[in-house]
Every structure is written in C-alpha cells, then in structure tokens.
Structure 1
Amino acid sequence: MSIALFTQAFVTLLVIFDPLAAIPVFLTLTRHQSPAARRRTARVSVLVAAGIVAVFAVLGNQLLDALGISLQALQVAGGALLALIALDLLKADCARNRADAESGAVAFVPLGTPMLAGPGAIAATMLYMEKADDGAEIAAVALAMAAALLVTWLTLRFSAGIGRLLKDNGLNLVTRVMGLLGAAIAVQLVAGALQHWLRWGVA
C-alpha cells in the first residue's frame, strides 16, 4: 500500500470534512435532541457522507457523464447550497425547527450533505481514485477516506463536551464565524468553476 498516497488523501479529506468547524453547526442543529439522539445523528450523518463519497469514488465519472454534468457544474451547485446554509448560520437560524431536529432529518441535510459530503469532498475523492494506478493504491485511498470519516465521527460524537465549554453565547459567536467562512468557501467554489470555464470553455 502506498503510504504517501494514504497520507496525502487522508490529510486532504480531513481538511475538507473539517470536523472541528462542523461542531458549532452540529451542536446548533441538535441542541433540542437528547444525548442518545445526538449520538445517533452523528452516526447517521457520517454514514450518509460515507455513502455519498463512496458512490462518487466508484461511479463518479460515469454518473456525471451519464447525466451530462461537469465537475465544475457540481462545484457551482454545491457552492450555491453552501451559501444558503451559510446564510442560515449568519442569521443563527440553522436550527430550523424542533420537529426536524428531533426527527433526525438534519443528519441527512445539511449535515451528511452538503456539510460533510460536499462538492469538495466528492471532487477530491474522485481525483485520488483517478491517481490510483493499482489495487494497492485504491486500497490506500479507501482506507484514507475511512480514517478521515472515523475522525469526523469521533469529533461529532464527543462534541457535547465542547458545547458545554462554549456555552450559548460562544456557540452563537462561532456559528456566525463559521457562516462567514462557509460563505467564503461557497464563493471560492463558484469562482474556481468559473475560472475553469473561462480558460477551457463550458464542456
């Protein structure tokens, strides 16, 4: 197995998943849940992200080609979705309503996708799978993805302790900061796609 490829893919995916930045969002969205429900939400959200990333790792290029969608179009769509979520965070309105939080719907959207399995994670996974030349390197990328998701799950699983340290005021502050950063990332995603189209044309 390629240790270098594993390390590179693991670090890249972990940075993109950014579980520490997801903590304020997770705690806000699950603030009305019981501890058991919050743990379940953490588990389901990571499983959703794992499923989406795994599907695109194996069938990403085929799916996009079959639908006639370019990777840049995926970036723009993901950036738009992320911008909407960032707007909710800036307004401290991301908890939505208690019924949705208690039902665990937030584990699918926005936590599982696009917060964790967003266009960046999908694109990075597809890129590393294309780099893999043999079975050993494919295994290295798969293990890196699994390790990054495991770290993300552990971070969300034990996020309640961090929430107790932050308190409500601290949580609201960090949530708004994350909203600002999320908006910036959304702009960068769209700008990257536009730059590619201006240079190479719209495929």
Structure 2
Amino acid sequence: MLDFLLEAFVTLFVTVDPLGLAPLFIGLTAGMSAADRRHVALRATAIATVVLVLFALVGAKLLSLLGISLPAFRIAGGLLLFYTAFQMVFSQKEPRDKSDADRAVTLDHIRDIAAFPLAIPLLAGPGAISATILAASKAPTLTAYGAFIGLIVAVMGLGLLVFLAADPIDRRIGETGRVVIGRLLGLLLAALAVQFVADGIKAILIG
C-alpha cells in the first residue's frame, strides 16, 4: 500500500504542480486586496478538492456512462487553458485609480476567477483528473483508497498554502514584475495548452 500511495502522491503533485501555480495566481488576482486573494485561494482549492474527490469516487464510471474518454478531457482542458493564456498575453493595461480597481473586483469576479481558471483547469485540470481516476482504479485495498482521498486533500492543502503566500511575493516583484511575469506565463500557458491538445489527439489516434 505504501508504494501505491507514494506513486499516487508523486503523480498527483506533479500534475497539479501547486508551486508552479503561484505566479499564475498572482497574475490572475492582480488588483485584488489581500482579503480578496484569500477568498479566491480558499474557494479555488475547495472547488478543486471537491472535483478531484468526486472523480476519484465515480470518475471512471461517469466517463464510461457518458462515453467520454480521458483524451477528450485533455483536449477540452487544453482549449480552455489556451483561452486563458490568450487573455494573459494580449490583455490591454489601462491606467486606473484605486476606486476603479475596487469596483472591478466584485464578488462575482472573485467567484468566477476561483472557479475558472484557478480551480478548473489549473488545479483540477485534465492531467490531475486523469491521474486521479487512474490512481483510484489501482487502489489495492479499501484502506488505500481512503488514504488516496486524503492525499488529494493534502495536495490541495499545499496549493492553498502556496496561494496564501503569493501576496508577499507580489509586493516584492512590483507592477513591472507583474506585467513581465504575466506575459511570460501567458506564453508558457499557451504552450502547455497546445501540449494538452496534442497529447489528447495523439492518444485518440493511437487508441
């Protein structure tokens, strides 16, 4: 069981990559207060946790019932991620004072950002969902299955800690740093999105 849990943790941690999401979190929550960022972090990780736990419990049966393949999930997630990357690279920076920023960060905006793209597809993306379904199907015992659910919560907890630590990082890099990082990460996200789509198409063709 220990080998199963170690393999499952490494796979899930790599696919979620909570450490690599810190700069993305900073870019997506630019202009928000520390309290708003905490709200986004908590909501995003909670949503992602629920999604991954649900897929661990009924994911394989649900996909089979709907006739949806894992490669199709990967393609769909890649397309959504590319849309986000496009916005990050080509968004127009307009001067705005604090009151404008305060009005822009509404409760609906916070909820939207937390759900998409932070929770889905960044935290609970096609890779993480695929890894969750595959690992759950390999659980040797019911105890190992329950422990794997705990691993999902642990990895999401790491993601929450990374997001909560993003605010002091943001203060250090400044406005110019945010602009540069946002554009560079947009390019990286675009490449990642294309890779998701390519992997999905390749898997469909081979299958």
Taking only aligned residues, the RMSD between alpha carbons, in angstroms, comes to: 2.0
Which runs of 5 or more structure 1 residues have no equivalent in the other structure? none
Which runs of 5 or more structure 2 residues have no equivalent in the other structure? 94-99
Equivalenced residues, count:
197
Q: Which has the higher contact order (CA 8 A, sep 6+)?
A: 2
When residues 143 and 155 of structure 1 are mapped into structure 2, their CA distance, relative to the original with a 3 A threshold, is same
| Cα distance per residue 1:143-190 (max 9 Å; x no partner) | 221111111000001110111122122222222222222122212221
Question: Is the deviation greater in 13-22 or in 69-78?
Answer: 13-22
Aligned to 1:138: 145
Aligned to 2:187: 180
Aligned to 1:47: 46
Q: Secondary structure at the match of 2:27?
A: helix
Structure 1 residue 92, shift from structure 2 partner: 4.4
Structure 1 residue 33, shift from structure 2 partner: 2.3
| Cα distance per residue 1:56-95 (max 9 Å; x no partner) | 111111221222211111111111101111111222469x
Q: Following superposition of structure 1 onto structure 2, how do residues 32-71 of structure 1 map, counting pairs within 5 Å? A: 32-71=31-70
Q: 2:106 aligns with which of 79, 102, 106?
A: 102
Structure 1 residue 31, shift from structure 2 partner: 2.5
TM (normalized to structure 1)?
Answer: 0.88
Q: Following superposition of structure 1 onto structure 2, how do residues 1-203 of structure 1 map, counting pairs within 5 Å? A: 2-92=1-91, 101-103=105-107, 104-105=110-111, 106-200=113-207
Contact 2:44–2:115 under 8 Å retained in 1: yes
Contact 2:81–2:117 under 8 Å retained in 1: no
Q: For the residues of structure 2 that align with 1:142 and 1:93, how far apart are their CA atoms?
A: 41
TM (normalized to structure 2)?
Answer: 0.86
Contact 1:30–1:101 under 8 Å retained in 2: no
